Structure 1
Amino acid sequence: MTTRTSHVDTFARDRLPPPQWQPEFLFELPELQFPDRLNCATELLDRWVAQGQGERLCLQAPGGVRWTYADLQDRANRIAHVLVREMGLVPGNRVLLRAPNNPMMAACWFAVMKAGGIAVATMPLLRAKELGQIIDKAQVSHALCDAALAAELQLAAAQHPVLREIRYFHEETPQGLEAAMARQSPSFDNVHTAADDICLIAFTSGTTGVPKGTMHFHRDVMAVCACWPRHVLKARADDVFIGSPPLAFTFGLGGLLLFPMSIGACSVLLDKASPPMLLEAIPRFGATVLFTAPTSYRAMAAQAGQLRIGAPRGGSLRKCVSAGEALPVATRALWKEHTGIEMIDGIGSTEMLHIFISADEAHARPGATGTVVPGYQACVLDDEGRPVPPGTLGRLAVKGPTGCRYLADERQRQYVQHGWNLTGDAYIVDEDGYFHYQSRTDDLIVSAGYNIAAVEVEDCLLQHPAVAECGVIGVPDEQRGQIVKAFVVLREGHVPSQAMVRELQDFAKRTVAPYKYPRAIEFREQLPRTETGKLQQFKLRSV
């Protein structure tokens, strides 16, 4: 650690991986030379107001919501006071954030940064069980939650008393966050955090279904703003960002909040961003930069062409970013055919915080993710950790100014080896330095941009009284990349049928986040197992 922490509660800091388990960090670019004291809220939000640009448009949302940078600062400052004065937050406390993408969610995120807390954003679709795992793992003591999503959080809080302080917003009661904000000053002195103080814990399920908390510093937030967006995206201050990924995904946090605000641009936050809703919102808000997954691009392509939303066809949209899952060559071609826009593809990870391999429009190659983003290094390794020649399949390895730091998790030693971050992806790099995605090297299922652990779906289905055994895999799907498929052995007295398929699917949707449910279910009399009883998933895949 470079400097003395500002954290009073050192729970997270005390659970960083030991230095020898952490990756090598690189700060070779001039823009990656950060001061010892750094608060990302000061740099991303307060800086604009201090420079006299507080009236720049910052956030928009349906219903006529238009916040300037000064508006966002006012609300974030008031919420920071509520956290400290009324909820008893001290620097280093973890604060769970739960909301769809909306301006109040953004204000809460910045309030946590200002108060020196650690933001633990959660996806709106998560159920009480999943929220409880996060609360327990990160020992979350505070929460700010949209009243529309209160039910599951209340169920989780009842089982986890460590979560002692909850305030709900968009709730017009004397107990609501807005009422508390009205009592507070619009000015707040940001905690003078260290550059290497943890400011967010982003959770990923991983292949085992046990959530992994990835810890990132204030300097990490600023580092990702200095690398891919500056060197590849090359957006402008007059751009209007829009997209579908939740702010709880680091893809969404960067694309819809950090990156636009780092250049003084504006972002549109949609609480619902299905393909039809995105197509309606892009011309309505004059959006120019779009972030979403390949699945959405494919679903929108034909209508996007009819609506002429692309700038080359007379619309506002000029840059389109694809990440979250592999971009099929056909989807890239289809989108360009209908909009005239060449997509910017990229791969990032929750562990790395954002994109580290990509290519801008001028250098994009169909079938290739791109080249290494300035500030990072990447290569393809064999099973012994040695770089392989061009054209050889191997494990993707990366290092740069950001990297994996799991919260008290033995899996750190799997992800980080010999200073490299091993992302779990199999790649080939060609003679020109372009990286070509081949597959995952683990059992993670990637469906429509969501990461799904097979074992978590299996555990869910095994809770149903009709299920004796089950095995879950990902199978190829043209629309979603992969879908979840479950192989189920029913208990005696239960008969395979379409009604049983629907019953199991509905049960899964009620028990875990709905995007994890098995879209395909096949009933079997028995499952392939080893002599020791271990499920042989590879045999399920070969059927």
Structure 2
Amino acid sequence: MPTTTQSQDPFDRVRELASRYSDERASAAYLLCDRHPAGNLAYRVVGADLEATDLTYGDLRTASERLASALADLGVSPGDRVATLTGKSVEYLVTLMAIWRLGAVHVPLFTAFAPAAIALRLAGSAAKVVVCDENQQAKLAPSAEIPADASWQVITTAPEHLVPPTALRFAELLAAKNPGLPAASLGGDAPLIHIYTSGTTGRPKGVVVPIKALAGFQAYAEFGLGLRSDDVFWCAADPGWAYGLYFGVLASFTTGIPSLLLQGGFDAEATYEVLSRYQVTNLAAAPTVYRSLRAAPVAAPRILKLRCASSAGEPLTPEVNEWAVGALGVPVHDHYGQTEAGMLVNNHHHPALKRPLKDGSMGIPMPGWEVRVLRQLEDAPAPDGEIGRVAVEVPRSPLAWFTGYLNDPEKSAEKFAGAGRWYLTGDVGWKDEGGYFHFSSRDDDVIIMAGYRIGPFEVESVLATHPVVRECAVIAVPDDIRGEVLEAFVVLRSDVKPSTNIVQDLQQWVKVGYAAHAYPRNVHFIESLPKTPSGKVQRFVLRQKRREELAATKCNSDPQ
């Protein structure tokens, strides 16, 4: 059953959404909760036992009004930061809406963070309150990283007998207050979220997301994900990170379409059971989830109701769709975006934007974003087929909202070119003659070998299709003759043992499947790839490791 928005011209829809969320009277709590019918299902929170707790919009409004009143009594005002260090739960959703009801700003903390990463974000955001789960309390206790005189108040969802002396109990705060607190109306420029980049290429940077960014988030929900009023949506990404928060939570709240939250970590059998039992029709997850399902010794249920499957966070390698069509019944659509923007380029599910999938392509720009590939050495569009810098033309992108990193003018300046005309994503790619965009690498991942510019993703895409490869990453190492050469780090399937024959076979696989000059000169077999907590491969860790090994080898071989 298509919604009315699916028959509407996408560019008209962008203008409508931009106007709604930029309004000077915009209220986050109203737009995300109160305007939806009270009896409508907002979320189905699925526990570790795979049983569900339902949360309606009426329930969410009442509970968040109570908690917002309690937060106000603790001195939280519009613009103040409130952090969450919680798993996916009803309490988590209530906390978010209470923060936004006050006009305060949410600071997401990933539950896999160690105390040092938590302290950096709490101090950097000047958070007044942090809401945590029972199993996260210990990370907030005074330690070498957490000061004993920390300025933030801790609220915990733990049972009464496990609440630390200095913490407040979530349930008691909720019970002590009455509903009815009015929702703040601060306008589209007011801050909504204070999030930090994942730090794959340096120290995490603060990004303040305004209410008006919700226009782009809802546009992606409708265009990229293709959400319809009859969908059951499940975004498996963790809301401690941008994609999981922007589109696993806010996409649902902006559209009012019921969604799932699954507590606990990834498990292939549980994933299939949730898809089947709760009749999920629209799924979004990181490529790692799909690759793990493909590699798991568990068969997909024979009957699934999936209508759409989407992937984001890292480029989707071709072997996933070779498997997905047979196992899930639908291909997986690759999508591309950033913490600083939301989603920019997609293989859209919306019927007016849907195109045939191309292996290795992240799709076409989403309406509301003017995305170009700029030449490497000049701020001018590159011709089709030429690798360059992926950029957004800001004046022609009504969904753009990022203006710079908080308190970091130097890093902010690096993100813009042409006197502010271009927002530089920091990614390298190319556009083909059909208008499809192709990811090549991060700026600092690109490999230049004997004059050739090689994006590691192209090589990884070929390697990943080899039957013995579970995961892989490609980096450059210095070479006296070629400047740089490629090396590959490969995680083999569990039933395969490393051998010289496999190395030679993988090298030949790349020569035949990609290019003779771009094969990896060395292949290293490892147990797992280094990744950020959100699942992104950290190639810089591999590069650093190899540089240290090569430096040690050179030192040992130099004559004394």
TM-score (normalised: structure 1): 0.74
* Rounded Cα–Cα distance in structure 2 between residues aligned with 1:250 and 1:107: 19
Mapped contact 2:82–2:127 kept (Cα < 8 A): yes
Per-residue deviation, 1:280? 2.3
Determine if contact 1:346/1:355 at 8 Å carries over to the other structure: yes
From the superposition, tell whether residues 207 and 360 of structure 1 become closer, same or farther in structure 2 (CA, over 3 Å).
closer
**Range moving further from structure 2, 189-198 or 27-36:** 27-36
Is the alpha carbon distance of 1:323 and 1:55 closer, same or farther for their aligned partners in structure 2, counting shifts above 3 Å?
A: closer
Q: Which residue of 2 aligns with 1:321?
A: 310
Question: How big is the shift at 1:216?
Answer: 0.8
Contact 1:243 1:278 in 2 (8 A): no
Amino acid corresponding to residue 413 of structure 1 in structure 2: A
Look up the match of 2:440.
Answer: 438
Aligned equivalent of 1:389:
383
Pairing partner for 2:155 from 167, 183, 193? 167
Segments of 5+ residues of structure 1 without an aligned counterpart are: 1-25, 455-472, 481-500, 530-543
Please report how far the alpha carbon of residue 289 of structure 1 lies from its aligned counterpart in structure 2 after TM superposition.
Answer: 1.5
Q: What residue number does 1:118 align with? A: 105
- Which residues of 2 match residues 218-257 of structure 1 at below 5 A? 218-225=211-218, 227-257=219-249
- Kindly indicate whether the alpha-carbon contact (under 8 Å) linking 1:171 and 1:177 is maintained by their aligned counterparts in 2: no
- Report SS of the residue matched to 1:112: helix
Instruction: Tell whether the 8 Å contact from 1:426 to 1:441 is kept in structure 2 after alignment.
Output: yes
Shift of residue 242, structure 1, vs aligned partner:
1.7
Output the amino acid matched with 2:321.
R
* Distance of aligned partners of 1:206 and 1:27 in 2 relative to their CA distance in 1, 3 Å threshold: farther
Q: 1:163 aligns to what SS in structure 2?
A: coil
**Structure 2 unaligned blocks of 5 or more:** 1-11, 447-455, 465-472, 476-485, 494-525, 553-560
Partner of 1:135 in structure 2?
A: 122
Query: How big is the shift at 1:477?
Result: 4.5
Q: CA deviation at 1:189?
A: 0.6
Tell me how far apart the structure 2 counterparts of residues 438 and 525 of structure 1 sit (CA, whole Å).
Answer: 26
In structure 2, the CA distance between the partners of 1:262 and 1:514, relative to structure 1 (3 Å rule), is closer
Structure 2 counterparts to residues 235-384 of structure 1, below 5 A: 235-276=227-268, 277-301=270-294, 306-308=299-301, 314-352=303-341, 354-361=342-349, 362-363=354-355, 364-383=357-376, 384=378
The equivalent of 2:18 in structure 1 is 32
CA distance, structure 1, for counterparts of residue 101 and residue 297 of structure 2? 40
Q: CA deviation at 1:524?
A: 8.6
Deviations 1:12-38 (A, max 9, x none): xxxxxxxxxxxxxx9972331131121
Query: Which secondary structure state, in structure 1, belongs to the residue aligned with residue 371 of structure 2?
Result: strand
Which structure has the higher relative contact order (CA within 8 Å, separation 6+)? 1
Within 1, Cα distance between the matches of 2:24 and 2:336? Answer: 29
Counterpart code for 1:386:
A
Match of 1:80 among 64, 68, 84: 68
Structure 1 residue 207 displacement after superposition: 4.5
Q: Pick the aligned partner of 1:402 from 389, 395, 400.
A: 400
- Give, in angstroms, the shift of residue 302 of structure 1: 6.9
Change over 3 Å in CA distance of 1:523–1:331 after alignment to 2: closer
Correspondence for 1:69: 57
Deviates more, 1:150-159 or 1:123-132: 150-159
Q: Distance in 2 between matches of 1:96 and 1:239?
A: 31
- 1:526 Cα deviation after fit: 5.9
Distance 2:489 2:543 in 1: 11
SS of 2:299 mapped into structure 1:
helix
Q: Deviations over 1:143-180 (max 9, x none)?
A: 11112211112247842745331111143358411111
Question: What is the aligned-residue identity percentage?
Answer: 25
Q: What is the letter of the counterpart of residue 33 of structure 2?
A: L
Distance 1:275 1:240, change over 3 A: same
CA distance in 1, matches of 2:139, 2:343: 31
2:81, 2:127 within 8 Å by CA — same for their partners in 1? yes
2:141 is paired with a residue whose SS is helix
Aligned counterpart, 1:486: none
Q: CA deviation at 1:348?
A: 0.7
On the 8 A contact 1:40/1:222 being kept in 2, the answer is no
Tell me, what secondary structure is at the counterpart of 1:248?
coil
SS in 1 for 2:368: coil
Amino acid aligned to 1:408: N
Note closer, same or farther for the CA distance 1:230–1:205 as it changes in structure 2 (3 Å cut): closer
C-alpha distance in structure 2 between counterparts of 1:523 and 1:140, whole Å: 39
Q: Secondary structure at the match of 1:326?
A: coil
Secondary structure at the counterpart of residue 159 of structure 1: coil
AA paired with 1:202?
A: I
SS in 2 for 1:72: helix
How many aligned residue pairs are there?
447
Between 215-224 and 151-160, report the one with greater CA deviation. Answer: 151-160
Which residue type is aligned with residue 30 of structure 1? E
What amino acid does structure 1 have at the position aligned with 2:434? D
TM-score (norm 2): 0.72
CA RMSD of aligned residues (A): 3.5
